[in-house]
Amino acid sequence: MSAASFRHAGAVRRRVAAILALVLAVSVSPFAPAASAATWLVEQTDYPGEPGSIVTRTGDGLVPTVRWRGETRHDTARLIAADDSPFRAPFETSTVLIARGDLFPDALAGSYRAGQTDSPILLTQSDQITGQTLEALEELDPESIVLLGGTAAISAAVEDELMATYGDDNVDRIGGAERYETAVLLAASGGDPETDTAIVASGENFPDALVSGALAVSEGFPMLLTRPESLTAVTAEALNDLGIDNVLLAGGLEAVSQDVEDAIADLGIDVERVRELGAGRSGTAAAFARLAVERYGYTDDHLQLATGADFPDALTVAPHAGLEEAPIVITNASGVVDAELQAYLDETVSCDFAALHIAGGLLAVTTDVEDTAREALTTGPCAVQLAPESATNLVGETHTVVAFVTNSADAPVANETVTVVAMPASDPSTATPTPESQTMLTDESGTAFADITSATPGEAAIVACVTGPEGGDRCSDPVTKTWLAADFLATGLAGPRGVDIGRDGAAYVTESGFGGDECVTTTVEGPEGEEEVEFCFGLSGAVTRADDDG
């Protein structure tokens, strides 16, 4: 062992000693049995699965993904809204919002309304409802439907069709003469907001505004729109009417100009521009994701991924992301993982990362993009387990413990250094576990074996540790090992053949017994042909338990 390795092993041993001392001083609780290697691997769902379904990928050594694989943008919205899997968002589907699927402003502004009612957003064509949206409505069976936008966005024919099915009183429309007025009406539709913060985004270009909808849902921030070059009058008026004191401005100067920022500031409002300097759409999305995690308490163990080349999937996943308080990130305009998205994935990776959700089919987010993201978000080693939980041997006998090392996807980690430390389980203790510390590498199944013995009776606590991706030690729960002195004497045994120590510390002796007068005759094949042979047996075979009390 090199000097550096020796110092590392010693440091691990000292830290483990402190852990063991604390654990054993407070209590001794039963430890869960170590999982077998078979429980780590989950059978992988066939991929890419069927269009129009929710596809899960797991069990291949990378963090799991859940893809809402819609055949179209309308179908992806259906899958997100009607998802009844364990990965669903807690939608309150008594109200459903419907926006036009080929224009982004109304769906973006509708994120605020979705947050007020915990509702999903479905998409429609301007002049007719697609079959996939009708299917979603049938599955959700809402009591109320709200159309986002005026009749120029969603025609009166669509409204009439919905009223014929769900009733005139159950279909509402929130829409103005144009997109900016619609956003203002949506912001005012829930009464006075419970916050003094609003989001202002471009009403002309979607890229920098895409992922801001999640914060509108989770934080109740009204979503207002503006022209890129100048603050629209109806938006300026709404900022005053809503009592807004703080504005999150979505994107860089190409999305929303400095003139707009200055005009908002002239209203006496503090403006914070959310962007990465010099970054594109994926960088702005990453900036919103960081803001959501660091300021608003979003989780960093669950992430939504959508294409940045188009808007529908990122918009319809926003209510899911907001209710789950999990950020959205997007690819660049070419639909690939660029340096800005890669940097955010590298920041996010941890042993606690649970799942990546993907909004859209394989044309929207390719399998190459998915695999790149999964590889970036997978790390290890993250956990180590020891087995068996407890065992008993005679003094001088060797005990083997088995360490299992896994990554953030619960998959085995090969060629990983494991340090196993054995120490007396109490102070004072007469056990002398040897060696006290040893290191070994895991094999292809993530398994490593350590042999430990003791020249004296007593109990030892054993812990295995690996160095985690963050640099700190990740250690198993302690397991226990007891060595007993062979100082008992058993007499009167009927043909003793073997001895072993049970979990209760007693010795168990197998006895073959002696022959008796119970006989049977059978025919066997002998050297000269078949012959009859008599076998006699007794009933004295046994397993005898011997302990300190005799």
Pick the last residue of a domain from 326, 351, 377: 377
Same domain, 331 and 225: yes
Pick the last residue of a domain from 377, 406, 426: 377
Q: Please tell me the predicted confidence (pLDDT) of residue 487.
A: 61
Same domain, 467 and 360: no
Same domain, 361 and 218: yes
DSSP 389: S
Instruction: Specify if 37 maps to a domain.
Output: no
Parent domain of 311: 53-60+63-377
Same domain, 124 and 110: yes
Same domain, 472 and 325: no
Pick the last residue of a domain from 484, 512, 535: 484
CA distance 473 to 123: 49
209-236 pLDDT per residue, tens? 889 999 999 999 999 999 999 999 999 9
CA distance 485 to 473: 35
Same domain, 476 and 359: no
DSSP per position, 26-73: H---PPPPPPPGGGTPPPPPPSS--TTEEEEE-SSSS--EEEEE-SSH
Q: Please tell me the predicted confidence (pLDDT) of residue 278.
A: 61
Helix residue ranges per DSSP H, 307-366: 312-316, 318-324, 339-348
CA distance 477 to 493: 41
Same domain, 269 and 137: yes
pLDDT band with cut points at 50, 70 and 90 for residue 122: very high
| Mean pLDDT of the region 249-255 | 93
Is residue 34 pLDDT above 80, yes or no?
Answer: no
Q: Please tell me the predicted confidence (pLDDT) of residue 445.
A: 97
| Mean pLDDT of the region 293-319 | 96
Same domain, 392 and 310: no
Instruction: Specify if 313 maps to a domain.
Output: yes
| Mean pLDDT of the region 241-269 | 96
| Mean pLDDT of the region 15-26 | 41
CA distances from 515 to 227, 480, 497, 523, 540 (A): 102, 42, 15, 20, 8
Same domain, 309 and 297: yes
Same domain, 405 and 515: no
Is residue 402 pLDDT above 70, yes or no?
Answer: yes
pLDDT band with cut points at 50, 70 and 90 for residue 375: very high
Distance of CA 10 to the CA centre of its chain: 34
Instruction: Specify if 386 maps to a domain.
Output: yes
Residues 6 or more apart whose CB falls under 8 angstroms from that of 170 comprise: 142, 143, 144, 145, 163
Instruction: Specify if 540 maps to a domain.
Output: yes
CA distances from 408 to 31, 133, 474 (A): 22, 37, 12
Same domain, 513 and 478: no
Is residue 37 pLDDT above 80, yes or no?
Answer: no
Instruction: Specify if 369 maps to a domain.
Output: yes
Is residue 17 pLDDT above 50, yes or no?
Answer: no
Extract the tokens encoding 427.
């102070």
DSSP 444: T
| Mean pLDDT of the region 300-322 | 96
Which of residues 501 and 238 earns the better pLDDT score? 238
Is residue 21 pLDDT above 70, yes or no?
Answer: no
| Mean pLDDT of the region 49-69 | 93
DSSP per position, 74-95: HHHHHHHHH--STT-----TTE
List for the chain the helix, strand, coil content (%; round to 5): 30, 30, 40
431-456 pLDDT per residue, tens? 999 999 999 999 999 999 999 999 99
CB 108 within 8 A of CB 201: yes
Which of residues 369 and 505 earns the better pLDDT score? 369
**Torsion 517-520-524-530 (CA) sign:** positive
Query: What CATH number did the domain enclosing 443 receive?
Result: 2.60.40.10
Q: Please tell me the predicted confidence (pLDDT) of residue 12.
A: 43
Instruction: Specify if 195 maps to a domain.
Output: yes
Among 214-223, 392-401, 482-491, the range scoring the smallest mean pLDDT is 482-491
Please give the biggest Cα pair distance in the chain.
Answer: 116
| Mean pLDDT of the region 166-192 | 94
| Mean pLDDT of the region 40-65 | 74
Query: In the predicted model, what is the mean pLDDT of the chain?
Result: 87
Same domain, 400 and 521: no
| Backbone phi, psi, residue 193, to 5° | -65, 150
CA distance 214 to 237: 24
Instruction: Specify if 490 maps to a domain.
Output: no
Domain count, the chain: 3
Instruction: Specify if 39 maps to a domain.
Output: no
